[in-house]
Amino acid sequence: MSIHIGAKQGEIADTVLVCGDPLRAEHIAESYLKDAFCYSNVRNMLGFTGRYNGKRISVQGTGMGQPSLAIYLHELTHEYGVKTIIRVGTCGALNQEIELGDIIVAQGASTDSNMNRLIFSGLDFAPLPDYGLMTAAIQEAEKQNIKVRIGYLFSTDYFYFKDDPKRWELWINHGMLCAEMESSLLFTMAAAAGVRSCSILTVSDNIILGKACSTEERESSFNDMMRIALNIC
Ligand code: HPA
């Protein structure tokens, strides 16, 4: 057991899918993994291990935002020896051409969070996914005929900044495709721990157009994202 994860040693697989919502972790385990069991319900931040195509995979809820994610990443890498972490989440598009339900594979993540500055004493680190894992996700999408967009994310600490479109101009002008709340720190902490990471996201809303996904759109794009993520584990 670590402080925030109730698993015994050996119960968490080398490869872990992480998502903000613990109930989504449960849904992934129930829908996609064989023989899945819950290894932790500490603070209701559920984690499960099961098998996909014979390979052991875990899925862990992390809560929303970088400070919460950091707790789970630290314990997964330092206490449980996890080697590969794939974020499967949602994001808000920052570009009118990006449609609800589109899938985005992150090429890098900028942030307004102070976490990187704390870690690097005020200097700037460029948070990037593992190149091999990112490429595997892109190739897997091609193989399965799933269209993905590849580009930069903005990981914000403040969800409701989305209501202020002016705030995004500078970032849109620097090529950001979407906003979410976790990938920047995932890439930074994975680099520090020497583990592989990448982020695959579905577009749940469009910040510029003020539109959000219907339940059906959410479901089908979620399935496509999962088919990519699970096959690169
Ligand atoms: N902003 C930040 N995070 C998000 C959003 C958003 O619009 N949509 C899904 N995650």
Interval 104-133: pLDDT, tens: 999 999 999 999 999 999 999 999 999 999
What is the Cα–Cα distance from 55 to 26, expressed in whole angstroms? Answer: 18
- Tell me if residue 130 is catalytic: no
CATH number at residue 100: 3.40.50.1580
Whole-structure pTM value: 0.96
Same domain, 70 and 158: no
- pLDDT tens digit sequence for 132-187: 999 999 999 999 999 999 999 999 999 987 777 788 999 999 999 999 999 999 99
Q: From ligand 1's centre to the CA of 34, what distance in Å?
A: 31
What is the Cα–Cα distance from 85 to 69, expressed in whole angstroms? Answer: 12
Same domain, 166 and 222: yes
Ligand 1 probe mutation, 182, 205, 211, 213, most atoms within 8 A of CB: 205
Residue range 12-19: average pLDDT? Answer: 98
Same domain, 140 and 230: yes
Whole-number pLDDT of residue 162:
72
* Contact predicate 94/170, CB 8 Å: no
Give the residue, by CA position, lying nearest to ligand 1 atom 2.
180
Among 63, 82, 101, the domain-final residue is 82
Same domain, 54 and 166: no
Give the residue, by CA position, lying nearest to ligand 1 atom 9.
91
Residue range 97-101: average pLDDT? Answer: 93
Question: Total domain count for the chain?
Answer: 2
Same domain, 114 and 2: no
Q: Which of helix, strand or coil describes residue 127?
A: coil
Residue 190 lies in a domain: no
Same domain, 126 and 16: no
Q: The domain containing residue 46 runs over which residues?
A: 1-82
Which protein residues are within 6 Å of ligand 1, measured from CB? 90-92, 156, 159, 162, 179-181, 204-205, 207
Catalytic residue among 35, 112, 157, 205: 205
Q: From ligand 1's centre to the CA of 61, what distance in Å?
A: 17
Ligand 1 probe mutation, 161, 177, 207, most atoms within 8 A of CB: 207
Same domain, 222 and 122: yes
Q: From ligand 1's centre to the CA of 179, what distance in Å?
A: 5
Residue 51 lies in a domain: yes
Q: Is the pLDDT of residue 221 over 80?
A: yes
Q: Where are the beta strands (DSSP E) in the chain?
A: 15-19, 34-40, 47-52, 55-61, 84-93, 103-111, 148-155, 176-180, 196-206, 211-212
Residue 43 lies in a domain: yes
Task: Compute the 3-state secondary structure of the chain and give helix, strand, coil in percent, each to the nearest 5.
Answer: 35, 30, 35
**pLDDT over 90 percentage in the chain:** 89
Residue 34 lies in a domain: yes
Residue range 196-217: average pLDDT? Answer: 90
Residue range 85-101: average pLDDT? Answer: 95
Same domain, 73 and 95: no
